[in-house]
């Protein structure tokens, strides 16, 4: 990086730290796409992290997550809190881009100067979050946002990565989607800190609430003490109660230790992902070696596990 680029990055970081939304948008683009200086950018904001409350919102498609996030954001603003919203949309298998549908549903919040909204692509991750999402959340945190809302794609049971990033994870359910509680209880329902029955004005809402409470009765320990909140996102009913439930969870005993443990776990995962990126980069110049290992597996001279272990060992030793 030359002197001009370094100065630009320094100026950008300073603007992010004072809440400049234009600078924040540019910084997120740099981090998301790993453009020149992205690692230095993240290292500069690192000392300023940990001030924002990160709220994850997940649940199956069609339960009204985006509408609920919009109302949740407006209620936070009524309490004079600044908000950053990161909405993860399904990625295109062709371009890798996102549809940005959540931005359309949050038009009114996007006009509020105290709200910063950004859509991002899931990049095909089954867990719902690409590795860059954590960096984008950090940038919103560093910009001085009081609350950062992370809305996930809504892929179902596999979508549990949000719990690694969020201080409080909201799992949204809705009646009328078949046996929705049964469908998700082995996955995302188990990472929820607050459970929401949205569209609670519908006839089957009471049954869905009873299913959730019955499931919670089977739990033991602190995970059994989880609030179930009923909302109607289209009219804002119950949203104030939802914000109160999140506030109570954040203020609960042991949450400070939870935040530290969560951050340590995320750092461990980032180290592994960084190492995997390095291995992938080194593989790019070793096509012949990879081809020979593949041939050995195909001919029965080796198995896949042994071949991959050999490749990693050779790449890390530098004997290529």
pLDDT attached to residue 172: 92
The dihedral over CA atoms of 119, 122, 128, 130, expressed in degrees to the nearest 10, equals: -100
Decide if pLDDT at 181 tops 60. Answer: no
- What's the pLDDT band for 126 if we cut at 50, 70, 90? very low
Q: What is the mean pLDDT of residues 239-263?
A: 85
Q: Which residue has the higher pLDDT, 224 or 131?
A: 131
**Measured distance CA(59)–CA(154) in Å, rounded:** 5
Indicate the domain borders of the chain: 1-47, 49-252, 264-317
Give CA–CA dist 261/146, Å, rounded: 21
pLDDT of amino acid 261:
74
Q: Name which residue leads in pLDDT, 158 or 25.
A: 25
Report, as an integer, the average pLDDT of 205-211.
Answer: 89
CATH C-level class of 49-252? alpha beta
pLDDT in tens, 85-107: 999 876 555 555 555 555 556 66
Residue 183: per-residue pLDDT: 45
User: CA–CA separation, 193 vs 254, rounded Å?
Assistant: 13
The model carries a pTM of 0.82
**Beta carbons of 58 and 65 less than 8 angstroms apart:** yes
- In degrees, rounded to 5, the angle at the alpha carbon of residue 65 between the alpha carbons of residues 63 and 70 is 140
Asked whether the beta carbons of 21 and 82 are under 8 A apart, the reply is no
What DSSP assignment string belongs to 28-59? HHHHHHT-TTHHHHHHHHGGG-S-SEEEEEE-
Judge contact between 33 and 131, C-beta under 8 A.
Answer: no
């Amino acid at each position: 990086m030359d002197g001009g680029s370094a100065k630009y990055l320094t100026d950008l970081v300073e603007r992010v730290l004072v809440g400049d939304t234009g600078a924040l948008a540019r910084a997120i683009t740099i981090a998301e796409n790993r453009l020149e200086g992205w690692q230095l950018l993240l290292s500069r904001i690192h000392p300023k992290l940990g001030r924002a409350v990160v709220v994850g919102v997940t649940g199956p498609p069609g339960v009204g997550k985006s509408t609920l996030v919009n109302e949740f954001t407006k209620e936070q603003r009524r309490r004079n809190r600044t908000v950053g919203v990161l909405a993860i949309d399904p990625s295109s298998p062709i371009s890798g881009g996102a549809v940005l549908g959540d931005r359309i549903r949050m038009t009114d919040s996007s006009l509020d100067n105290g709200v910063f909204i950004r859509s991002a692509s899931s990049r095909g991750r089954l867990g719902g979050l690409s590795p860059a999402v954590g960096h984008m959340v950090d940038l919103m945190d560093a910009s001085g946002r009081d609350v950062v809302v992370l809305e996930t794609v809504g892929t179902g049971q596999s979508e549990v990565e949000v719990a690694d990033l969020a201080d409080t994870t909201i799992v949204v359910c809705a009646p009328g989607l078949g046996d929705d509680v049964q469908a998700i209880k082995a996955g995302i329902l188990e990472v929820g800190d607050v459970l929401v029955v949205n569209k609670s004005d519908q006839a089957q809402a009471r049954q869905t609430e009873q299913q959730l409470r019955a499931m919670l009765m089977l739990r033991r320990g602190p995970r059994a003490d989880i609030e179930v909140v009923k909302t109607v996102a289209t009219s804002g009913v119950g949203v104030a109660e939802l914000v109160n439930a999140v506030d109570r969870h954040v203020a609960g005993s042991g949450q400070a230790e939870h935040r530290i443990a969560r951050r340590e776990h995320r750092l461990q995962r980032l180290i592994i992902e960084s190492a995997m990126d390095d291995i992938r980069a080194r593989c790019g110049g070793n096509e012949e070696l990879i081809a020979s290992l593949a041939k050995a597996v195909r001919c029965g001279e080796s198995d896949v596990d042994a071949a991959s272990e050999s490749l990693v060992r050779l790449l890390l030793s530098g004997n290529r």
